[in-house]
Amino acid sequence: MDPGYHLMELPTKVLIGEGVIDKLGEFVADKGPKKTVISSGSQVTSKVRATVDGALGGEPVWVEVAAADTQNVEKVKRAARRAGRIVGVGGGKSVDVGKLAAFRLGLPFYSVPTSASHDGISSPFASLKGLDRPYSIMAKPPVGILADIEVISSAPKRLLASGCGDLVSKLTAVKDWDLAHRETGEYYGGYSASLALMSADVVLTGSRSLGKFGKDSVRDLVEALISTGVAAGIAGSSRPCSGSEHLFSHCLDVVAPGVGLHGEKCGIGTIMMAKLHGLDWKRVRAALMNVGAPVEASAIGIDDSQVVRSLVKASSIRPDRYTILSKRKLDPRGAAALAKSTGVI
């Protein structure tokens, strides 16, 4: 596509509040009476199935998503070939699998998060295993997002803290984007960057109250995560939401597969990338501690050598994406010094 322009795709509507899951039927009704296929994990299904079935007033087809991978995308696609819509009910894997299946079938997708662990609930990107790349791929944003604060507030605190880690990562993602603009001439969108930074600020300035994860705090967290997805839609890329800290996280996915949550790894990466950018990394670290997010790699089962290897190799995950790691080109000694100086190892 000509770099002089880009396409913006955004969610059409968002319904957020306590008890709104009961309104799911009318929320999706504008897309016609055809059957609804629901992508969901087993634990979430047992928790909300009766409520969702009652709200839809019909017999939706539930597809159990065991993992965020291509096999589960194909399973949802098979169930949805004659459907009118796909609804992702649950956490990251259910939403990402449903989102990509809907995109590949050309069906409208609705996001119904039951936790707030990362910004995939609203973004146009899907992160799956078994693809030809270790990072998220472009799909389309949800047509609609229904976020029931009562349901999300009951999610494990670790998932909510992970969402805070993903939010704070926008601080270094935007710095990387601006760096790429100045050094390579890449397009930089000031508005979408500001929107992403405002979302990060929810954690940086309000971490003490946010970390209590009461319903008001959870609503702030969810709205901020939705806003970052909108920022990516406005930018036409993941740039305002994903930078060197995400490359570090994606590299950890390769080096230590299945260890730690996405937002946890991004938060830890943000501490180190903030120092490379000359930002107040101690403030980032303190904010993550206040919300109960890990700040040491060992807390999520990552050892020192895995951190060092991921820092050294992270820029090779996406050679086309210029970040502070492209500029600094860390060797093992420099990577170890960075991780030690920030308390990550």
Least reliable range by pLDDT among 112-121, 145-154, 296-305, 332-341: 112-121
Please count the CA atoms within 13 angstroms of the CA of 223 that sit on its side-chain side: 13
Give the model confidence (pLDDT) of 143-183 as tens digits. Answer: 999 999 999 999 999 999 999 999 999 999 999 999 999 99
pLDDT of the residue at 1: 40
Does domain 158-341 correspond to CATH entry 3.40.1350.10?
no
Least reliable range by pLDDT among 93-102, 194-203, 265-274: 93-102
Q: Are strands 109-113 and 137-138 parallel, antiparallel or unpaired?
A: unpaired
Partner residues linked to 148 by β-bridges: 17
Q: Do domains 13-152 and 158-341 have the same CATH topology?
A: no
Mean pLDDT across 334-343: 98
CA distance 145 to 101: 17
Q: Considering the entire predicted model, what is its pTM?
A: 0.93
Give the model confidence (pLDDT) of 236-253 as tens digits. Answer: 899 999 999 999 999 999
pLDDT of the residue at 2: 45
Specify the CATH architecture of the domain 13-152.
3-Layer(aba) Sandwich (3.40)
Partner residues linked to 111 by β-bridges: 88, 145
Kindly list the domain boundaries of the chain, sorted by start residue. Answer: 13-152, 158-341
Cβ–Cβ < 8 Å for 88, 112? yes
User: Is 145 in a helix, a strand, or coil?
Assistant: strand
218: Cβ contacts below 8 Å, ≥ 6 apart? 116, 149, 152, 153, 160
Question: Which pLDDT band, with edges at 50, 70 and 90, does 132 fall under?
Answer: low
Cβ–Cβ < 8 Å for 104, 77? yes
* Average per-residue pLDDT for the chain: 92
Give the model confidence (pLDDT) of 290-327 as tens digits. Answer: 999 999 999 999 999 999 999 999 999 999 999 999 99
Give the model confidence (pLDDT) of 5-57 as tens digits. Answer: 788 888 889 999 999 999 999 998 765 667 899 999 888 877 888 999 999 88
